Structure 1
Amino acid sequence: MKPNSIRMVCFDAGGVLVRICRSWEEGCRVAGIEYRWSEVVQAGEAERVAISNAYQRGEIACSEFFEQMATTAGGLYAADDIRVVHDAWILGEYPGVRELIDRLNGTDELVTGLLSNTSARHWEGLWMQGSPGGSAVGRIEHPHASHLLGLLKPGVEIYRAFEQETGYTGSEILFFDDLPENVAAARAAGWRAEVIDFAGDTARQIAGHLAACGVGGQE
């Protein structure tokens, strides 16, 4: 690929621009909710995944999501417990990501995008990160999310929907995500894509990939 074929730098949110809880146990600890588990709860995992997917596709409201998730918990968690943990899930921005996005936005013939699996409530929370001075997500020129598109990564449909919404396609897009399956799907869709280690310095990793591609004046 010619480096100058890249016209769009697109990010995932959680694990790339913002730190998030990586497990229910961590979420409980951050939220101050006692962590409780049982074989009954474990048995409901497939149902919880289905509920979460519907929620992130925008098919159910927040209140309905909390109630449905509590139903799968075998009485260990009330709907309000689910809400408290849910609202504690976003931990804050990674250092340096706002400045990196600003540099990209200031580069001629280059735009920034976001493609995130998320929900309406977390979407609002993403925009509130980093105040004062505005959030990293608020700096993105083409922000798109699963609950707005009605689709989820790693399904190919969401990558095509993003292309249709933004007007950028295939190798014009350089995408960063923390999940290998989402990166693999993006590559299958013809995008340039790289995995970001959520446990490390994400801005530094992104800058390294940009430099390797000769994008955005990164060296």
Structure 2
Amino acid sequence: MTPRAVVFDIGNVLIEWNPERFYDRTIGVARRKALFAEVDLEGMNRQLDLGAPFRETVEALARQHPEWSAEIMAWHDHWLDMASPEIPDSVRLLQGLRANAVRTVALTNFGTETFGIAERAYPFLRAFDLRVVSGHLALMKPDPQIYQHVENATGLSGADLFFTDDRPENVEAAAARGWQVHLFDGPQGLARRLRDLGLPVDEEAA
């Protein structure tokens, strides 16, 4: 069955998200491993994805760990370096769908302020028919309520929706609702899946 809307995750599907790579480059692998072992940066990022204020949240964690203050503040000051570059072939797939009048939706765990930074850096993020951003709703994948929000907003459910994400738990949550799904492993795999479903595919991206 050909879906009526394609739902994209953003991080590691349309743009790369790799804080570890940033820190490896700036402070070295050994120090980065120590930082991530001693400081709950992932927990801080979850707060951001649920809508917490960007600078204030990062500063609060930096105050808790003064020995890592500069490294923690880099999460704020160099955030875009961690959320880059775009994944060109994935973006071409998105643009090809839109050029063929296929409805597209963004469903992403993303902070409110960081999403604003991202859409200024990556204008294609403004082109979706619907954008469901965790920070705006204070809900994160794989919470079933955020998938319900997509269904309510689009008027679609079950196999009418196709979803791609790089995290298995997020894909499984969509599959549990009857959505068609694809665990993202690169643009070429996504292109094959879209083609198999009868959706238009940008051949250059494929």
TM norm structure 1: 0.79
1:67 and 1:52 map into 2 onto residues whose CA distance is 13
Segments of 5+ residues of structure 1 without an aligned counterpart are none
Q: Find out whether 1:185 has 2:178 as its counterpart.
A: no
The one-letter amino acid paired with 2:100 is T
Aligned-partner Cα distance in 2 for 1:166–1:203: 25
1:169 deviates by 1.5
User: Cα distance, 1:39 vs. partner?
Assistant: 6.6
1-structure distance, mates of 2:194, 2:76:
38
| 1:82-161 → structure 2 map (5 Å cutoff) | 82-108=75-101, 110-130=102-122, 135-161=123-149
> How far did residue 98 of structure 1 move?
3.2
The amino acid of 1:178's aligned partner reads D
- 1:203 matched to which residue of 2? 187
Note the aligned Cα RMSD (angstroms).
2.6
1:165 corresponds in structure 2 to 153
Cα 1:175–1:150, aligned 2, differ >3 Å: closer, same or farther? same
Which residue does 1:68 correspond to in 2?
A: 60
Per-residue deviation, 1:61: 0.7
Distance in 2 between residues matched to 1:66 and 1:40, nearest whole Å: 14
1:101 maps to a residue whose letter is L
Alignment of 1:15 onto 2:12? yes
1:27 paired with 2:33, answer no
Amino acid at match of 1:211: R
Q: Secondary structure at the match of 1:77?
A: helix
- Structure 2 equivalent of residue 214 of structure 1: 198
Whether the 8 Å CA contact 1:8–1:111 is kept in 2: the answer is yes
Q: Distance in 2 between matches of 1:13 and 1:140?
A: 11
Return the offset for 1:115. Answer: 0.3
Task: Output one character per residue of 1:24-45: Cα deviation in whole Å (capped at 9) or x when no partner.
Answer: 3x22245x45673587963553
Q: 1:176 to 1:71 in 2, by over 3 A?
A: same
Q: Does 1:176 align with 2:164?
A: yes
Deviation at 1:54, TM superposition (A): 2.3
Contact 2:110 2:134 in 1 (8 A): yes
Alignment gaps of 5+ in structure 2: none
Aligned partners of 1:44 and 1:72 also within 8 Å: no
Secondary structure of the corresponding residue to residue 112 of structure 1:
strand
Matches of 2:77 and 2:202 in 1, distance apart? 40
Judging changes above 3 Å, is the alpha-carbon distance between structure 1 residues 84 and 29 closer, same or farther for their aligned structure 2 residues?
Answer: farther
